Chain A
């Protein structure tokens, strides 16, 4: 048996050098997030309670993303130009919530943006909602966005939807024995 007593953790042959996982003590963002999330609460000490709450929070986050984007899209389509500040505020809230969530996970070494996780059929309806919001913006204020942006957004959405459908079909085929 090889004696590795002198090796530092993660420094065994084959381990990528310097690959460490941060803790909340290292990073101002994580410290601030811990305050916002009240992560030092005694509630989190009970492990199943913590796990279940984490799952509940994941459900809540998804609802905020979906309902927030849907509400923003509905506002611009129903309220037109007058609803624009409210719709953009709502969309900004959705963006900040998603950004903070992704950043928190990324800083602690969790790759939530791995293509296998992101590019799933679940993304299709969200992209359609997003497209509805962007088109609603144009509908509410003609000339808000340059035509080239709209063409690019439409093409990008179409490409993403097509890629998702192709990958979902390939996955189904490879899963079939």
Chain B
């Protein structure tokens, strides 16, 4: 497992994004990353930097703890797609 991995840690980015009706591409453009990065973050395959985590939280109207904290909802929100398509 590479060092960019989040070691499969769950997060609630996908749930927050779909709740707002945003596509991955729209969210990616809003926080100035590629769509593949959003896919990887949602899948728990990439641990974002603190700055990207803050940008995601600000754009999704949540706190970083809400999105990436270890709360019980995190496991339930674990996404199924782990592939990053280019």
- What B residues does A36 contact at CB under 8 A? none
Q: Looking at the assembled complex, report how far the CB atom of B46 sits from the nearest CB atom of chain A, in whole angstroms.
A: 5
Q: How far is the CA of A46 from the CA of B4 in the complex (A)?
A: 13
Q: How far is the CA of A12 from the CA of B45 in the complex (A)?
A: 36
B3 contacts A51, C-beta separation under 8 Å: yes
B41's nearest neighbour on chain A, judged by CB, is A48
**Chain B: residues with CB nearer than 8 A to chain A?**
2-4, 32-34, 36-37, 40, 46, 48-49, 52
Other-chain contact of A47, B2, B3, B33 (Cβ < 8 Å): B33
Name 18 A/B residue pairs within 8 A (Cβ), A-sorted: A46-B32, A47-B33, A47-B48, A48-B4, A48-B33, A48-B34, A48-B36, A48-B37, A48-B40, A48-B48, A49-B34, A51-B3, A51-B4, A51-B46, A52-B2, A52-B4, A55-B2, A55-B4
- What B residues does A51 contact at CB under 8 A? 3-4, 46
A59's nearest neighbour on chain B, judged by CB, is B2
- What B residues does A47 contact at CB under 8 A? 33, 37, 48-49, 52
B39's nearest neighbour on chain A, judged by CB, is A48
**Number of residues in A with C-beta < 8 Å to the partner?**
8
Q: How far is the CA of A51 from the CA of B4 in the complex (A)?
A: 6
- What A residues does B40 contact at CB under 8 A? 48
- What B residues does A52 contact at CB under 8 A? 2, 4
B3 contacts A46, C-beta separation under 8 Å: no
A47's nearest neighbour on chain B, judged by CB, is B49
Contacts A45-B32, A55-B4 known; list 12 others, CB within 8 Å. A46-B32, A46-B33, A47-B37, A47-B52, A48-B4, A48-B34, A48-B46, A48-B48, A49-B34, A49-B37, A51-B3, A52-B4
